[in-house]
Chain A
Amino acid sequence: MTGKDIIKITLNLVIVYLIGGFILSFVYANASPRIFRNNQEAEKNALKELMPDADSIDKMGEWSPHEKHAKYFIAKKGGETTGYVVQSFGKGYSSYINTFIAVNKDFKVQKIKILAHGETPGLGDEIEKDWFQNQFKDKSIDHLKVIKGETKEDIQAISGATISSRAVTEDAVKNGVAFLVKTITEGGSADVQHQHD
Chain B
Amino acid sequence: MSSTSTTNLKDLFLNGVIKENTIFKLALSLCPSIAVTNNLKNGVFMGGAVLFVQTMVNITISLMRNVIHPKVRLPIFMLVISGWVTVTQMLMAAFVPDVYAKVGLYIALIVAFASILARAEMFASKNSFLPSMADGLGMGVGFLFALTTISFFRELVGKGSLWGYPIIDTKPILLLILPAGGFFAVGILMALFNWINARAAAKAAPAAH
Contact = CB atoms under 8 A, between A and B. Distances in A.
Interface residues of A, number: 25
A69 interface: no
Contact of B178 (A35, A42, A120): A120
Contacts of B38: 121-122
Interface in A31-51: 31-32, 34-35, 38-39, 42
Given A17-B79, A121-B178, A38 B72 contact: no
Given A8-B69, A9-B72, A38-B93, A24 B171 contact: no
Nearest to B96: A38
Interface string B68-85: 110110011001100100
Contacts of A5: 69, 71
Interface string A105-122: 000000000001000111
Interface residues of B, number: 28
Interface in B77-113: 79-80, 83, 86-87, 90-91, 93-95, 97, 101
B174 interface: yes
A17 B72 CA distance: 12
B168 to A, nearest CB: 14
B95 A34 contact: yes
A1 B38 CA distance: 51
A34 B158 CA distance: 35
A44 to B, nearest CB: 14
Contacts of B177: 121-122
Contact of B71 (A9, A16, A31, A35): A9
Nearest to B171: A122
B69 A27 contact: no
Dominant secondary structure of chain B at its interface with chain A: helix
Contacts of B39: 121
A17 B67 CA distance: 14
Contact of B94 (A12, A35, A42): A35
Contacts of A17: 79
B171 A12 contact: no
Interface in A144-196: none
B157 to A, nearest CB: 12
Contacts of A120: 178
Contacts of B158: 122
B27 interface: no
A121 B182 CA distance: 12
B83 A24 contact: yes
B28 interface: no
B159 interface: yes
Contacts of A28: 90
B64 interface: yes
A13 B87 contact: no
Contact of A23 (B87, B91, B97, B171): B87
Give the 6 A-B CB pairs with smallest separation, nearest first: A34-B94, A31-B94, A31-B90, A38-B97, A20-B83, A122-B177
30 contacts: A1-B71, A5-B69, A9-B69, A9-B71, A9-B72, A12-B67, A16-B79, A16-B80, A17-B79, A20-B79, A23-B83, A23-B87, A24-B83, A24-B86, A24-B87, A27-B86, A27-B91, A28-B90, A34-B94, A35-B90, A35-B94, A35-B97, A38-B97, A42-B97, A121-B177, A122-B38, A122-B174, A122-B177, A122-B178, A123-B178
Given A116-B101, A122-B171, A122-B178, 8 more contacts: A12-B76, A13-B75, A16-B80, A20-B83, A27-B86, A27-B91, A31-B94, A34-B95
Interface of B: 38-39, 64, 67-69, 71-72, 75-76, 79-80, 83, 86-87, 90-91, 93-95, 97, 101, 158-159, 171, 174, 177-178
